Copies of this chain bind each other. A is one copy, B any other.
Amino acid sequence: MATVSIKDVAARAGVSPGTVSNVLNRPEKVAGGTRARVEAAIRELGFVRHGSASTLRAGHSRTIGLSVIDIGNPFFTDVAAGVEDMASERGYAVILGNSSGSRMKEERNLLVFAEQRVRGVLITPSDEDPGRLDRLRERDIAVVLVDHPAERSSQCAVAVNDVTGGAMAVGHLLRGGAGRIGYVTGPAAIRQCQDRRRGAEQALAAAGRDPAELREIAMPAMTAKAGQQAAEKLLAEDALPDALFCANDLLALGMLRGLLQAGVRVPDDVSLIGYDDIDFASASTVSLSSIRQPTYQLGRVATELLLDECDNPDTHAHQQIMFQPDLVVRESTR
């Protein structure tokens, strides 16, 4: 039958509703005996607090939103795992929003977050427009950028240095003797793609080469399928580069499949390096060299910053944290 409310619990325990609420939210304020009686009543009646009522009255929820670009990408799954662990340690629930790289879907997810009155939002923005985020902040919703450097110092952000990562990747290719290098990337709006390219160009320059040599193959998505299409595109032309740097491992795995199917040998004909070092990178046909990032940590730390901002708004100091990536060499590069 109908839902059991705080009133029913109060009646059963012989106290007032307010006291039940206190037991729930500030147990230390209520005397031991009373508390025990209330807790017993809660258990017997199977009471579960009405989150909406609580949110409505209290003005805020115990919920945070997480908006990612592609939940199908193991990189984001790992981040999400870190977020979820930290959030549930602190008693928060996570609403996940997947933008699939579509600005419209991202927008809609943020709307859902706003409607649910989440306490804060973790977001890996799919483009550089800060407007949406400002609108959230106007609504008293804390925002922490994930895998994206801060746009200003008045906000928290957690990122990994993508320029360094890009330089590591291409530096490694150059040390392997690569001549012409191709950069397989995703939508131009995605900052990670830009930064990794900048790093690649720096590595070229550092080796005394012209950064403009870098041949860019841009795809509309950063999935394995897109990677395979990039391979087809590349093969349709005459001259294959000596080495390919892919902006993430999914692209690289798709590229690898595409190349192998066409009889191109990796790394003998073409060196190939990815980015993210997802689990599957080491399991692929030719195991994939890649750039490793502290993914799970990224999620955990971002969540910690967000919850600190929520729970201690006065003492909170905004932080911009930048992790460093690592080069992982496997079979796909000379």
Q: Does A28 contact B (CB under 8 A)?
A: no
B-binding segment of A45-53, A190-198, A207-215 = A45-53
Q: Does A56 contact B (CB under 8 A)?
A: yes
Copies in the complex: 2
Shortest C-beta distance, A85 to chain B (Å), equals 9
Q: Are A108 and B88 in contact (CB under 8 A)?
A: yes
Q: Does A116 contact B (CB under 8 A)?
A: yes
List chain B residues, Cβ under 8 A from A285: 283-287
List chain B residues, Cβ under 8 A from A256: 283
B-binding segment of A74-82, A122-130, A297-305, A320-328 = A74-82
Interface residues of A in 71-98 (CB under 8 A from B): 71-72, 74, 77-78, 80-81, 84, 88, 93-96, 98
Distance in angstroms between the alpha carbons of A127 and B114 in the assembled complex: 35
Q: Does A16 contact B (CB under 8 A)?
A: no
Interface residues of A in 89-117 (CB under 8 A from B): 93-96, 98, 105, 108, 111-112, 114-117
Q: Which of B140, B253, B287 contacts A280 (CB 8 A)?
A: B253
Q: Does A139 contact B (CB under 8 A)?
A: yes
Q: Does A153 contact B (CB under 8 A)?
A: no
Q: Does A3 contact B (CB under 8 A)?
A: yes
Q: Are A77 and B72 in contact (CB under 8 A)?
A: yes
Shortest C-beta distance, A113 to chain B (Å), equals 9
By secondary structure, the A interface counts as helix
Q: Are B51 and A115 in contact (CB under 8 A)?
A: yes
Q: Are B115 and A224 in contact (CB under 8 A)?
A: no
Q: Are B61 and A71 in contact (CB under 8 A)?
A: no
Q: Does A279 contact B (CB under 8 A)?
A: yes
Distance in angstroms between the alpha carbons of A67 and B50 in the assembled complex: 20
Task: List the interface of chain A (C-beta within 8 A of B).
Answer: 3, 46, 48-53, 55-56, 61, 63, 71-72, 74, 77-78, 80-81, 84, 88, 93-96, 98, 105, 108, 111-112, 114-117, 135, 139-140, 224, 253-254, 256-257, 279-280, 282-287
